Amino acid sequence: MRPRNDSVLMALETYLRDVAVELGADHAVAAQDAKDVVDLETEVAKITVPKEEKRDFFKQYNPTTLAEFAKNYSYVDFASALRKVFCTANIYLEDDQEIIVQFPSYYKKLQDVLNHSDKRTLMNSFGFKFAAAKINSLSEKFRKLRYGLMEALSGKKGIEPRWKTCLQVVVGAFPVGVSKAYTRQRFSNDSKAYVTSMVKDIATSFKEILLEANWMGNKTKAKALEKLEAMTFIVGHPDVRFSDQEINEKYLQFVMTSDNFYKNMETTVRNVRIMKLQKLKEPRDDTEHAAKKSHEVNAIYIWRQNQVAIFAGMMQPPYFSETFPDSMNYGGIGFMIGHEITHGFDDIGGQYAKNGKLDEWWQPEDWSTFKDRRQCIIDQYGNYFYKTAEKNLNGINTQGENVADNGGLKESYRAYKKLLKRKGTGKLLPGLNLTQDQLFFLSAAQIWCGKQTKESAILQVDSQDHSPGRFRIIGPLQNSPDFAKAYNCPAGSPMNPEKKCSVW
Ligand SMILES: [Zn+2]
């Protein structure tokens, strides 16, 4: 059974109980039911494949057919369940419909958990999930029931301002429309030209690093160069955007009323789900993701498309400004561009070939050296103690992001040094007695300034791929001889340790 002092599980139990009571259940019965459901969820969590084992995508690629899958796991009528879901999008699944089973061991063990659970708890579990998904669309009385759970998870107290909630809902429902509206108002072609030239420079840096990599054999190197050549880039938003008419047509089914939020949410959730299901029969669209996310303060590398996208929302301070010295732009958004390019060649990106398909394109001995080089990063970050969370980072789960941070900073710095040769040293910042090199690293550090509650720090360390901001800076800078030189850190001092890790 679970540890009874776990505050998140206790908060979840209270939340489930209170929702049931608010919907009319007896308090004592609801309390027992809630406890049983949380126990069941804890059992399911125990058979769930640990995050550390989810980084091998070859293991997760287990193609089968719907009929085979249904036969192998006949303890639930998965075929009818899936057919019913897809039916809402007017898609009938044939017996020979190909499906990929990511975690067969989970389905094997699930049977056992289900066999040991009573029907009431199972039904309650579904009922609770159904109700919980709709709480945010209900009146304040219901929404308040979530506060305790949210506080236990994130440390944030109370309710979010209404405008934030409404904005999230609108963005979630109409991402393509919001993205277009944002880029129309807040995106300039001058910024696009500047960042596009940065992308070219930084990709060239990665190419040089690849060519210099003497730990890698020529066969693997040739494949890696091909992959880099084939990588596509979206800066700001896709070049071809949806017309206003296309956007209107896309959302034709989303009929909204002005006086019933719950009904609007029902309509939205149903239509968003149908749009997702319909993708099963549609060809891959490589611009779709960026068309939905242009407004986000983010950048991404998509393995299955071999594509880097730098969203328009990120092309603003502190990451970027047309008025910043070049050093700050390369330390800011340049660092992120390099980070995304490097993802194509981290432990997961390295499993995907230039066309976005899983492919063992590495010679075995090169993959093995690559693994050793990554181990250095895994150990380095795994040894960082995060005071706010009162625990060490998970070096395995964060390795891809850490490798990308380390490579990204190095690539962007190289690109910046070459720009200096072309353009000459530009303006410095008035009032700050810092060199351009110092500004580069200061700008890199500034983008990860932030503060975090203890609860959200624990959640991040336990469940996320990204190291907390503090270590996204300390890690790459400790590994960077360029940083040590720029700030005159003596050899062997904390920010210039003798042992340095380098994958790329
Ligand atoms: Zn990343």
Supply the range of the domain harboring residue 32: 1-59+104-159
Which of 304, 320, 316, 315 minimizes the C-alpha distance to 354? Answer: 304
**Same domain for 125 and 202?**
no
- pLDDT the model gives residue 304: 94
Tell me, yes or no, whether 170 lies in a domain: no
Contact of 95 with 66, CB cutoff 8 Å: yes
**Same domain for 349 and 310?**
yes
Question: DSSP 3-state assignment of 294?
Answer: coil
Taking the alpha carbons at both ends of the chain, their separation in whole angstroms is 44
Which of 33, 405, 437, 482 does the annotation list as catalytic? 405
- pLDDT the model gives residue 5: 53
Kind of pairing between the strands at 299-302 and 232-236? unpaired
For 55-69, b/e burial (b = at least 16 CB within 10 A) is: beeeebeeebebeeb
Tell me, yes or no, whether 78 lies in a domain: no
Ligand 1 center to 389 CA (angstroms): 22
Tell me, yes or no, whether 200 lies in a domain: yes
**Same domain for 155 and 292?**
no
Domain boundary among 138, 159, 180: 159
Which of 379, 351, 374 minimizes the C-alpha distance to 215? Answer: 374
Residues whose CB is less than 8 angstroms from the CB of residue 239 and which lie 6 or more positions away in sequence, other chains included: none
Which of 18, 43, 326, 340 does the annotation list as catalytic? 340
Ligand 1 center to 375 CA (angstroms): 18
Catalytic site includes residue 244 = no
Report the distance separating Cα 18 and Cα 132, nearest Å: 11
How far is C-alpha 226 from the geometric centre of its chain's CA atoms? 26
Contact of 35 with 13, CB cutoff 8 Å: yes
User: For 152-155, which contacts have Cβ atoms below 8 Å and span 24 or more sequence positions?
Assistant: 152/7, 152/8, 152/10, 152/11, 152/12, 152/455, 153/8, 153/11, 153/455, 153/456, 153/459, 154/453, 154/455, 154/456, 154/459, 155/453, 155/454, 155/455, 155/456
Tens digits of per-residue pLDDT, 139-154?
Answer: 989 989 988 899 998 9
Q: What is the pLDDT along the chain (504 residues), one digit of tens a residue?
A: 455 458 899 999 999 999 999 999 999 999 999 999 999 999 999 999 999 999 999 999 999 999 999 999 999 999 999 999 999 999 999 999 999 999 999 999 999 999 999 999 999 999 988 988 899 899 989 989 988 899 998 998 877 888 998 999 999 999 999 999 999 999 999 999 999 999 999 999 999 999 999 999 999 999 999 999 999 999 999 988 889 999 999 899 999 999 999 999 999 999 999 999 999 999 989 999 999 999 999 999 999 999 999 999 999 999 999 999 999 999 999 999 999 999 999 999 999 999 999 999 999 999 999 999 999 999 999 999 999 999 999 999 999 999 999 999 999 999 999 999 999 888 889 999 999 999 999 999 999 999 999 999 999 999 999 999 999 999 999 999 999 999 999 999 999 999 999 999
- pLDDT the model gives residue 2: 52
- pLDDT the model gives residue 160: 83
**Same domain for 295 and 155?**
no
**Same domain for 226 and 110?**
no
- pLDDT the model gives residue 4: 47
Ligand 1 center to 361 CA (angstroms): 22
Count the helix, strand and coil residues of the chain and give each as a percent rounded to the nearest 5: 60, 5, 35
Contact of 310 with 333, CB cutoff 8 Å: yes
Ligand 1 center to 404 CA (angstroms): 6
Ligand 1 center to 255 CA (angstroms): 37
**Same domain for 381 and 468?**
yes
**Same domain for 219 and 302?**
yes
Tell me, yes or no, whether 478 lies in a domain: yes
Phi and psi at residue 386, to the nearest 5°: -95, 105
CA-based Rg of the chain, rounded to a whole angstrom? 25
Tell me, yes or no, whether 169 lies in a domain: no
**Same domain for 132 and 206?**
no
**Same domain for 118 and 202?**
no
**Same domain for 155 and 192?**
no
Domain total of the chain: 2
Tell me, yes or no, whether 255 lies in a domain: no
Q: What's the CATH code of the domain at 211?
A: 3.40.390.10
Kind of pairing between the strands at 98-100 and 63-65? antiparallel
Catalytic site includes residue 39 = no
Tell me, yes or no, whether 269 lies in a domain: no
Ligand 1 center to 301 CA (angstroms): 7
**Same domain for 213 and 144?**
no
Side-chain-side CA neighbours of 285 within 13 Å: the count stands at 16
Report the distance separating Cα 90 and Cα 42, nearest Å: 36
Tell me, yes or no, whether 281 lies in a domain: no
Report the distance separating Cα 416 and Cα 439, nearest Å: 12
Kind of pairing between the strands at 299-302 and 63-65? unpaired
**Same domain for 49 and 144?**
yes
Ligand 1 center to 258 CA (angstroms): 40
Phi and psi at residue 419, to the nearest 5°: -60, -40
